[in-house]
Structure 1
Amino acid sequence: MPAESRHRRLLANRYQLTELIGSGAMGQVYRAEDKLLGGVIVAVKFLSQALLNKKMKERFEREATISALLGEKSIHIVKVRDYGVDEKEIPFYVMEFLQGESLSDIIKFHPLPLSRFLNLARQICFGMECAHKGILYQGELCSIIHRDIKPSNILVTQDSALGELVKILDFGIAKLVQSGGDQTQSFMGTLAYCSPEQMEGKELDSSSDIYSLGIMMYEMLTGDMPLLPENSSFGGWYEVHHYVSPQPFNPTLKIPLGLQNLIRKCLEKAPQDRPQNIGEILQALEQIELAAKPVYREEKEQRFNFPPTLPPDNRPEFGSRERTISVSLPAKEVCLQSQWPKDKPQQKIVFPHIMGSKDGPFASLWVMLEKPDILTSIASIRYNQFLFIPTPHPMILWITVLYHREHGPRWLPCYLDLKTLQGQQLTRALGELGNYWILFFALEDPNKCERAITASIAPTQCERLKDWGMQSQNIRPGKPQISKRMLKRELDKLKPKIIAKLESGVEQIPSNV
């Protein structure tokens, strides 16, 4: 059936096709309304009639199954909702309909600034890492190789909780890496982004996707391709991918040297010379982000653009000559020079904040009390506990207790939303550093930090924090308020046990809700 004749057709007595929105070698994609769900907009993909043979139908069915499994495992991979065959025996599957902008359109005229690049690149890596680690398919753990990583297969959507949310599209030419499997070695992919081994039709592993990612990262940062053939034929691209060194980076773009080196390593001709997994790239990107944070100082007659590592009270207004705190100072000095934020009420409250020092970001709790209570708190036993709930919304309850045998416990609970940048940063800092700072401000004089003390986190809790942070990447956002209420109920149940622990010295309290 010609693509145009499908318009306005009711598919499977459920999906009302409305318009053709895309087509490619594998088939056509339509916008449709799911009548069973009250007209919810979905995308329906049909297998191209030119590929209608038994082998390709089986591949298409496998594509739908793989995509469905991957989409359930990572929020950074498009989700598949249904699969079927129409009356002409043409296979189709139904995907979530995404509104956004492809990465190819975003970088068409301007390269990305470093901060946006790091945000998008990290999310792309999370999706790829999920696929590479594998899914259970027909009883086996199978690694999924995308085989066509490129900007047009990356969609950037807007999410109320996360801001920009990356979705990787088209696992239609993904290949199951199964030991002993009967696999074809035919070439599939996009020439400009293909690894040398992919052009040779060899068996692929994750390092092939890493090569394609390296080309895309170069393009994201520069707006140019790292490799350009004399002509766009297969032979021309084969030549440059195998024998030509990537173009040097334009020095005027001021791309960090560490990031340049990372991309060059991804573009190595031999697979064994590239990063061996996406985890290595994520780790390198994190170090690059930390190293790229500048030392902030006074500036005049321009807007300030402070990162979340500085306290909000130290972000001066336009043209202000207010003194700022340099992140080149030690953590304790940064704490003691801090002032209570102007947008926070001057009352007995506590809130978490990510701060910056010469040693990098660190987690902190900001507390306002009366001066006598601060002195009591300084002399108290410090205890912390972390509770995690994955659904309906991934959330951590960060509990700090300052226990004084004469005055009793002072509870300092905070919530960390793992679908926000601050929540992710705080969780990472807590898990990796194993400690945090508590800043005390007096109600009588909130203009300066009265005292700053540290609290240590047990190694087992640090490992849990790291695991929860990673786990939350693959969980759909839900309703944060419901998770908060559930965590608060758990805290109310735990309070007697925590007090008993502090009085008796017992060490173990459950931390997973």
Structure 2
Amino acid sequence: MSDPNIGRLLDNRYQLVELLGKGAMGQVYLAKDVLLGGVSVAIKFLSQTLLNKKMRDRFEREATTSALLGQRSMHIVRVMDYGVNSDDVPFYVMEYLRGESLSDLISTSPLSIPRFINVTRQICLGLQCAHEGIEKDNRIYSIIHRDIKPSNILVTNDPTVGELVKILDFGIAKILADDSGQTNCFMGTLAYSSPEQMEGKELDNRSDIYSLGVMMFQMLTGKMPLQAETHTFGGWYKTHHHQSPRTFASVDPNLKLPKALETTIMGCLEKDPKNRPQSVNEIIKTLDPLSARFSHAQSIGQRIGQVLQTRPVVADPQRTDVPSLEEVCRLQSWPKDKPLAQIVFPQVLATSRETVVTLWVMLNKSEIQQRQFSTLYNKLYKNFLCMMSPHPMVLWLTVLYNREHGPRWLRCYLDLKTAKGQEMVRLLGQKGTYQILLFAVEEPQRCAQAISVRLNPSQCQLLQDWANSSQIINAAQPNLSKSLLKQEFEKLQPQILMKLQSDDPDTSFS
């Protein structure tokens, strides 16, 4: 039987496309935001069987909580709109995320230690934001998720940060110190619930930490640390209160974990909340040095591989005088047909060795001097946004960030229906690098600084996919696509700035 909701238009804006999933609380649909040229969104409806005041209030609180938290953390699903349809059924609109649930991910095999650290750290950052709370009635209230489990974690590939992790479903989240009567009954998932949650007690952030501990054990081994005799409330109540968790060695003797990591995970599984880490920040402090260690080792391996790939087997003495790419960039002069003003434009640069994509930027000399990219306090962010309809267009975004002087936003558009735009996008996807050439308004005759930027593999693949897809689409209204991309960029700006202001090393320039 066909779904009568497919094709339906909500609020003259959201057109339902297909049913993505359904659960006890309601249904989630894929929809197109026709106001923004067909941008994909996800829409969650409250189930028809739950249309009472109590559940409506809870559903609205879920939307509000997710909206407020999503603004503060990129690791929590972002909610953008709320409404009621013509049948008086409430719904809210959230970002549509293409990815894989952590549950599906670990069902095939456990995570490697480096990937585990990356995924877990992002989950912790999202939980930390929730536990720090939201403002309500001029007070700050901590948010306890109460249903942390692999199926509520989505792992997606972001063109900027690579693997991006999002916490989903704050449907039974608790606003701590508010409406405390609701915790007198059990809500959650039996296998991941803390002992105090099984008792229906008032919960704090340490209950989420217990659930996180169960999930971390499962992520590394593919198995649960606790096993109930029967999958009933009574069976799991007894297990969480009295059964000691299995050790990593008993489950997988070949798994060699750093001692600090193993101690932290087992600490999360303590029955008494007082014996667990008292905040997610304690777990992050354990993960951070491990993250630095593993990423450093990976970086060294990549650099060795790059050197071995590019270094000739026999040195050619005739090539010793060929200038490097950086030297070629530094020898460039500002084009005479461009105004001496603070503008940004892309250009393909052909050298004796290769053809490269460059981004030419003119700034005041004082600002270039302030943004010394060899220091610890500078970061670089790069991203590409694409819109195929009504006209294939890419927004190429680079942000130079300095902790003292803030961001410098560099934007330009690449029209995929022009030969130049096609060449740029394909070269970016194939080479995976581009050069930023900084020129001072006061001294345009020479490049003041050249910065090499490396894209991640997922960005390269997206760029090549966009270039190919655009070939079968007719050109129409390029200015409208530019306007829509600009709107999307403005919505992303606060999240980008929040990431740059954080201590996340992923945006650091090196």
Q: TM-score range by the shorter chain?
A: 0.5 to 0.7
Further displaced range: 5-14 or 175-184 = 175-184
Q: Deviations over 1:346-395 (max 9, x none)?
A: 75999xxxxxxxxxxxxxxxxxxxxxxxxxxxxxxxx9794689998472
Provide TM-score, normalisation by structure 1.
0.62
Q: Determine the structure 2 residue equivalent to 1:471.
A: 501
Distance 2:242 2:6 in 1: 47
How far does residue 287 in structure 1 lie from its aligned partner after superposition? 3.2
How far does residue 41 in structure 1 lie from its aligned partner after superposition? 1.1
- Map 1:2-401 → 2, pairs under 5 A: 4-178=3-177, 183-249=182-248, 250-289=252-291, 306-308=297-299, 312=303, 317=308, 345=325, 347=327, 386=377, 393=399, 395-396=401-402
Question: Residues 252 and 83 (structure 1 numbering): CA distance in 2 closer, same or farther, change over 3 Å?
Answer: same
Equivalent AA in structure 2 for residue 395 of structure 1 = Y
Q: 1:178 is paired with a residue of what secondary structure?
A: coil
2:180 touches 2:202 (CA, 8 Å); kept in 1? no
Q: 2:299 is paired with a residue of what secondary structure?
A: coil
Further displaced range: 383-392 or 267-276 = 383-392
Q: 1:31 is paired with a residue of what secondary structure?
A: strand
2:379 touches 2:500 (CA, 8 Å); kept in 1? no
1:398 touches 1:413 (CA, 8 Å); kept in 2? no
Distance 1:346 1:50 in 2: 65
How far does residue 188 in structure 1 lie from its aligned partner after superposition? 1.2
How far does residue 208 in structure 1 lie from its aligned partner after superposition? 0.6
How far does residue 137 in structure 1 lie from its aligned partner after superposition? 2.3
1:395 touches 1:415 (CA, 8 Å); kept in 2? no
1:397 touches 1:414 (CA, 8 Å); kept in 2? no
Further displaced range: 44-53 or 209-218 = 44-53
Provide TM-score, normalisation by structure 2.
0.62
How far does residue 97 in structure 1 lie from its aligned partner after superposition? 0.6
Distance 1:162 1:384 in 2: 21
Further displaced range: 187-196 or 8-17 = 8-17
Further displaced range: 387-396 or 232-241 = 387-396
1:75 touches 1:473 (CA, 8 Å); kept in 2? no
Q: Deviations over 1:84-129 (max 9, x none)?
A: 1122221110111110111111111110111111111111111111
Question: Residues 388 and 471 (structure 1 numbering): CA distance in 2 closer, same or farther, change over 3 Å?
Answer: same
Q: 1:44 is paired with a residue of what secondary structure?
A: strand
How many aligned positions are there? 358
Question: Residues 41 and 216 (structure 1 numbering): CA distance in 2 closer, same or farther, change over 3 Å?
Answer: same
Q: 1:201 is paired with a residue of what secondary structure?
A: coil
1:148 touches 1:194 (CA, 8 Å); kept in 2? yes
Q: 1:307 is paired with a residue of what secondary structure?
A: helix
Distance 2:47 2:503 in 1: 34
2:59 touches 2:171 (CA, 8 Å); kept in 1? yes
Further displaced range: 281-290 or 20-29 = 281-290
1:16 touches 1:33 (CA, 8 Å); kept in 2? yes
Q: 1:88 is paired with a residue of what secondary structure?
A: coil
Question: Residues 313 and 132 (structure 1 numbering): CA distance in 2 closer, same or farther, change over 3 Å?
Answer: same
Q: Deviations over 1:463-498 (max 9, x none)?
A: xxxx99783379x99xx9xxx9xxxxxxxxxxxxxx
Q: Determine the structure 1 residue equivalent to 2:471.
A: none
Question: Residues 393 and 238 (structure 1 numbering): CA distance in 2 closer, same or farther, change over 3 Å?
Answer: farther
Q: 1:211 is paired with a residue of what secondary structure?
A: helix
How far does residue 313 in structure 1 lie from its aligned partner after superposition? 5.7
1:388 touches 1:468 (CA, 8 Å); kept in 2? no
1:157 touches 1:164 (CA, 8 Å); kept in 2? yes
Distance 1:41 1:416 in 2: 33
Distance 1:416 1:237 in 2: 55
Equivalent AA in structure 1 for residue 13 of structure 2 = R
How far does residue 413 in structure 1 lie from its aligned partner after superposition? 7.7
Structure having greater relative contact order (Cα 8 Å, sep ≥ 6) = 2
How far does residue 4 in structure 1 lie from its aligned partner after superposition? 3.4
Distance 2:181 2:398 in 1: 41
Question: Residues 348 and 150 (structure 1 numbering): CA distance in 2 closer, same or farther, change over 3 Å?
Answer: same
Distance 2:142 2:270 in 1: 22
Q: 1:43 is paired with a residue of what secondary structure?
A: strand
How far does residue 161 in structure 1 lie from its aligned partner after superposition? 1.5
Q: Deviations over 1:395-442 (max 9, x none)?
A: 23799xxxxxxxxxxx9989899x99xxxxxxxxxxxxxxxxxxxxxx
Question: Residues 392 and 184 (structure 1 numbering): CA distance in 2 closer, same or farther, change over 3 Å?
Answer: farther
Question: Residues 384 and 67 (structure 1 numbering): CA distance in 2 closer, same or farther, change over 3 Å?
Answer: closer
Q: Provide the identity percentage.
A: 52
Distance 1:316 1:230 in 2: 56
Structure 1's unaligned 5+ residue stretches are 295-305, 323-341, 351-382, 400-410, 421-466, 485-513
How far does residue 260 in structure 1 lie from its aligned partner after superposition? 1.4
Distance 1:385 1:243 in 2: 49
Q: Determine the structure 2 residue equivalent to 1:380.
A: none
Further displaced range: 285-294 or 112-121 = 285-294
Question: Residues 211 and 79 (structure 1 numbering): CA distance in 2 closer, same or farther, change over 3 Å?
Answer: same
Q: Determine the structure 1 residue equivalent to 2:412.
A: none
Question: Residues 17 and 344 (structure 1 numbering): CA distance in 2 closer, same or farther, change over 3 Å?
Answer: same
1:126 touches 1:473 (CA, 8 Å); kept in 2? no
Q: Which has the higher helix share?
A: 2
Q: 2:142 is paired with a residue of what secondary structure?
A: strand
